[in-house]
Amino acid sequence: MPDAVPSDVAPPLSLARGLRAIAPWLGAGSIGLAAAQPLFAGLLPRGADILLHYYRIAALVEMLGQGFLYSRWFPFLAGGYGYPILLYYAPLAHYLGAGFHALGAGIGPATLLVFG
Protein backbone atom coordinates (compact mmCIF):
# COMPACT_ATOMS: atom_id res chain seq x y z
CA MET A 1 0.00 0.00 0.00
CA PRO A 2 1.47 3.39 -0.94
CA ASP A 3 2.15 6.00 1.72
CA ALA A 4 -1.06 7.94 1.76
CA VAL A 5 -1.29 11.36 3.38
CA PRO A 6 -4.28 11.64 5.67
CA SER A 7 -6.81 14.19 4.51
CA ASP A 8 -6.81 16.09 7.80
CA VAL A 9 -3.10 17.06 7.54
CA ALA A 10 -2.38 20.35 5.76
CA PRO A 11 0.38 20.37 3.18
CA PRO A 12 3.57 22.12 4.31
CA LEU A 13 3.94 25.76 3.34
CA SER A 14 6.89 26.85 1.33
CA LEU A 15 9.18 29.47 2.81
CA ALA A 16 8.45 32.00 0.08
CA ARG A 17 4.70 31.61 0.53
CA GLY A 18 5.03 32.05 4.29
CA LEU A 19 7.14 35.20 3.90
CA ARG A 20 4.63 36.63 1.44
CA ALA A 21 1.91 36.04 4.02
CA ILE A 22 3.66 37.93 6.84
CA ALA A 23 5.50 40.59 4.80
CA PRO A 24 2.66 43.17 5.00
CA TRP A 25 2.46 42.74 8.77
CA LEU A 26 6.22 43.11 9.16
CA GLY A 27 6.17 46.22 6.98
CA ALA A 28 3.29 47.79 8.90
CA GLY A 29 4.97 46.99 12.21
CA SER A 30 8.25 48.52 11.05
CA ILE A 31 6.52 51.70 9.92
CA GLY A 32 4.59 51.85 13.19
CA LEU A 33 7.74 51.48 15.27
CA ALA A 34 9.52 54.15 13.25
CA ALA A 35 6.58 56.53 13.70
CA ALA A 36 6.37 55.82 17.45
CA GLN A 37 10.11 56.28 18.05
CA PRO A 38 9.69 59.74 19.66
CA LEU A 39 7.33 58.19 22.21
CA PHE A 40 10.09 55.83 23.35
CA ALA A 41 12.65 58.63 23.65
CA GLY A 42 10.61 60.31 26.39
CA LEU A 43 11.42 63.79 25.16
CA LEU A 44 9.01 66.58 24.41
CA PRO A 45 8.77 67.58 20.77
CA ARG A 46 10.53 70.74 19.74
CA GLY A 47 8.38 73.78 19.28
CA ALA A 48 8.04 77.33 20.41
CA ASP A 49 4.94 76.70 22.51
CA ILE A 50 5.24 73.07 23.63
CA LEU A 51 6.02 74.02 27.24
CA LEU A 52 2.89 76.18 27.32
CA HIS A 53 0.83 73.13 26.38
CA TYR A 54 2.65 71.10 29.03
CA TYR A 55 1.73 73.67 31.72
CA ARG A 56 -1.83 73.96 30.44
CA ILE A 57 -2.37 70.20 30.59
CA ALA A 58 -0.90 70.12 34.10
CA ALA A 59 -3.19 72.97 35.16
CA LEU A 60 -6.23 71.26 33.63
CA VAL A 61 -5.37 68.00 35.41
CA GLU A 62 -5.16 69.94 38.68
CA MET A 63 -8.49 71.65 38.05
CA LEU A 64 -10.15 68.35 37.15
CA GLY A 65 -8.73 66.88 40.35
CA GLN A 66 -10.39 69.68 42.30
CA GLY A 67 -13.74 68.89 40.71
CA PHE A 68 -13.98 71.60 38.05
CA LEU A 69 -14.97 70.02 34.72
CA TYR A 70 -14.68 73.25 32.74
CA SER A 71 -12.86 76.13 34.36
CA ARG A 72 -12.23 79.18 32.25
CA TRP A 73 -9.75 80.49 34.79
CA PHE A 74 -6.57 78.54 35.65
CA PRO A 75 -5.21 80.04 38.89
CA PHE A 76 -1.88 78.17 38.58
CA LEU A 77 -0.76 79.92 35.37
CA ALA A 78 0.87 83.34 34.89
CA GLY A 79 3.02 83.10 38.00
CA GLY A 80 0.12 82.33 40.31
CA TYR A 81 -2.02 85.25 39.17
CA GLY A 82 -4.16 83.04 36.96
CA TYR A 83 -5.03 83.14 33.30
CA PRO A 84 -8.29 82.67 31.40
CA ILE A 85 -6.81 80.16 28.98
CA LEU A 86 -10.02 78.41 27.96
CA LEU A 87 -11.55 81.71 26.89
CA TYR A 88 -8.88 82.07 24.20
CA TYR A 89 -7.77 78.54 23.34
CA ALA A 90 -9.81 75.52 22.28
CA PRO A 91 -9.79 72.98 25.13
CA LEU A 92 -10.08 69.67 23.22
CA ALA A 93 -6.34 69.02 22.93
CA HIS A 94 -5.81 69.74 26.61
CA TYR A 95 -8.68 67.47 27.60
CA LEU A 96 -7.12 64.71 25.47
CA GLY A 97 -3.86 65.20 27.35
CA ALA A 98 -5.70 65.07 30.66
CA GLY A 99 -7.41 61.88 29.48
CA PHE A 100 -4.07 60.26 28.67
CA HIS A 101 -2.86 61.36 32.10
CA ALA A 102 -5.93 59.76 33.69
CA LEU A 103 -5.07 56.52 31.86
CA GLY A 104 -1.69 56.46 33.57
CA ALA A 105 0.66 58.55 31.43
CA GLY A 106 2.66 61.31 33.02
CA ILE A 107 2.14 64.93 32.00
CA GLY A 108 5.15 64.84 29.66
CA PRO A 109 4.16 61.65 27.80
CA ALA A 110 0.53 62.85 27.66
CA THR A 111 1.70 66.09 26.07
CA LEU A 112 3.81 64.08 23.65
CA LEU A 113 0.87 61.86 22.71
CA VAL A 114 -1.34 64.84 21.92
CA PHE A 115 1.10 67.31 20.37
CA GLY A 116 3.96 65.02 19.30
pLDDT tens for 53-99 read 888 999 999 999 999 998 888 888 888 898 998 888 888 999 999 99
- Nearest by Cα to 84 from 115, 109, 63: 63
Bridge partner list, 83: 74
Give the structural domain span for 72: 50-115
- For 3-51, the pLDDT digits (tens) are 665 566 666 667 777 778 888 888 888 888 887 776 666 666 677 788 8
Question: Using CA atoms, how far apart are residues 39 and 91, in angstroms rounded to an integer?
Answer: 23
Q: What pLDDT, on the 0 to 100 scale, is given for residue 22?
A: 85
| Domain annotation covers residue 61 | yes
> Which amino acid would we find at residue 25?
W
Burial 46-82 (b: 16+ CB within 10 A, else e): eeeeeeebbbbbbbbbebbeeeeeebeebebbeeeee
| Domain annotation covers residue 109 | yes
| Domain annotation covers residue 69 | yes
| Domain annotation covers residue 67 | yes
| Domain annotation covers residue 71 | yes
Give the global pTM. 0.61
> Which amino acid would we find at residue 86?
L
| Domain annotation covers residue 32 | no
Q: How many domains does the chain divide into?
A: 1
| Domain annotation covers residue 58 | yes
